[in-house]
Amino acid sequence: MAVVEERDYAAAAPVPRAAPVLMPTREVAPAKRTPLLLELGIVAFLGWVYDWLENLAPLRHSLALQHGRDILSFERHLGISPELAMDHWLAAQHVLAYIAADFYDNAIFLVTLLLAAWIWWRRPDIYRPLRNTLVLANLIGFSVFYLYPVAPPRMLHGFIDVVEKTGGLGAWHNELIKHADQLAAMPSMHLAWAVWCSLVAWRLGSRKWKRVLARTFALVYPVVTTLTVLATGNHYVLDVVAGAGCTVLSALAADAWARHRRDSGQKRHKGSGGFAPEEVTALAEPCHLGNEQVAVFQVSLGLDEVP
DSSP secondary structure letter of residue 58: G
Q: Which range (39-48, 223-232, 240-249, 264-273) has the least confidence?
A: 264-273
Burial label, 140 (beta-carbon count in 10 A; 0-12, 13-18, 19+): buried
Comparing C-alpha atoms, which of 122, 248, 257, 119 is closest to residue 191? 248
pLDDT per residue as tens digits for the range 247-286 = 999 999 999 988 888 877 766 666 555 555 544 444 444 4
Q: What is the DSSP string of 151-166?
A: --GGGSTT---HHHHH
Q: Which range (37-41, 244-248, 299-303) has the least confidence?
A: 299-303
Q: Residue 93, SS3? A: coil
Res 301: pLDDT: 47
Res 283: pLDDT: 41
Number of H helices, E strands in the chain: 12, 0
Identify the CATH number of the domain defined by range 36-271: 1.20.144
User: Span 175-198, mean pLDDT?
Assistant: 84
Res 285: pLDDT: 45
Q: What phi and psi values does residue 102 have, to the nearest 5 degrees? A: -65, -40
CB atoms closer than 10 angstroms to residue 168? 20
Q: Which range (55-59, 174-178, 280-284) has the least confidence?
A: 280-284
Amino acid at 207: R
| Gyration radius of the chain over CA positions | 32
Amino acid at 206: S
Q: Residue 280, SS3? A: helix
* Higher local confidence (pLDDT), 45 or 12: 45
Local confidence band at 209 (pLDDT 50, 70, 90 cut-offs)? confident
DSSP secondary structure letter of residue 92: T
What is the Cα–Cα distance from 301 to 183, expressed in whole angstroms? 85
Q: Where are the domains of the chain?
A: 36-271
pLDDT per residue as tens digits for the range 111-149 = 999 999 999 999 999 999 999 999 999 999 999 999 999
Across 57-194, the runs of DSSP E, i.e. the strands, are none
Q: What phi and psi values does residue 21 have, to the nearest 5 degrees? A: -105, 115
pLDDT per residue as tens digits for the range 151-160 = 999 999 999 9
